[in-house]
Amino acid sequence: MSNFRGCMEVNFFGTLSVTKSFLPLLRHNKGRIVNISSPAGDQPFPCLAAYGASKAALNLFTNTLRHELEPWGVQVSTILPSSYRTGRSSNRAYWDQQHKQLLQSLSPALLDEYGEDYVTEIKDLFHSYASQASTDLSPVVQAIVQALLAPQPRPRYYAGPGVGLMYFIHTYCPFSLSSWLLQWLFVKKKLKPRALRKEGLEINLNLLNNNNEEKLQ
């Protein structure tokens, strides 16, 4: 719950507070609002529920502002970046610390159901994904500049390679294809939760026993 509340405080309530403070000036001077969001706010990225939920709230808030502030001449845009290597995202020590805290916070029953190796694999996948992300932030900077200075700014800017294609697939292709793409690109897990592995083993053993009994008969 602390992760969900933390993400909402930073990504939604923080932006809401700053926007509310400056709205009188923005309305009277026909200013602009440019929010940095994420594709995770529109698409169900595996293992990013807390982050994605906060960005989804931000996206809806920004889209609503666009309609409400149109009579005042205030333009509102959302920047949707692809994956970039910033801050802690490529810091292995950070991921190790997050992994340690997660293991300590899980109840023994829940940890037994998932298995420590399952949780460790997720940590390694996140670190691998972050370490391969681009360090060139120029597409994001250029999108922000366009949103601030263009005579007619777009409601949304896809900043970085692959984001526009991802949204096209998410919008126009079957949900099963979009879901498979997110799993394939983002979380290439090989392990199942420990409890499911046990169930699979028990099923296989039962089938083997049944086959042996049939042969004996």
Tell me the pLDDT of the chain (217 aa) as tens digits: 888 999 999 999 999 999 999 999 999 999 999 999 999 999 888 888 999 999 999 999 999 999 999 999 999 999 999 888 777 666 778 778 888 888 888 889 988 998 999 888 888 888 777 777 788 889 999 999 999 999 999 999 999 888 888 888 888 888 888 888 877 777 677 888 888 887 755 554 454 455 555 554 5
Cα–Cα nearest to 35, from 18, 53, 52: 18
Q: What is the DSSP letter of 9?
A: I
**183 and 76 in a common domain:** no
Please report whether residue 182 resides in a domain. yes
State the DSSP code for 217. Answer: -
Quote the pLDDT of residue 51. Answer: 93
Q: How far apart are CA 66 and CA 37, in angstroms?
A: 15
Please check whether residues 70 and 45 belong to one and the same domain: yes
Same-domain check for residues 94 and 194: yes
pLDDT of residue 144: 96
Predicted pLDDT of residue 179: 82
Residues 86, 136 contacting (CB under 8 angstroms): no
pLDDT of residue 59: 96
In sequence order, which residues have a C-beta less than 8 Å from that of residue 47 and are 6 or more positions away? 122, 126, 187
Same domain, yes or no: 2 and 105: no
Q: Are residues 129 and 157 in the same domain?
A: no
**pLDDT at residue 63 in the model:** 96
User: How many structural domains comprise the chain?
Assistant: 2
The residues carrying an active-site annotation are: 51
Domain span including residue 40: 1-84+135-172
Element (H, E) at 159: strand 156-159
In-domain check, residue 215: no
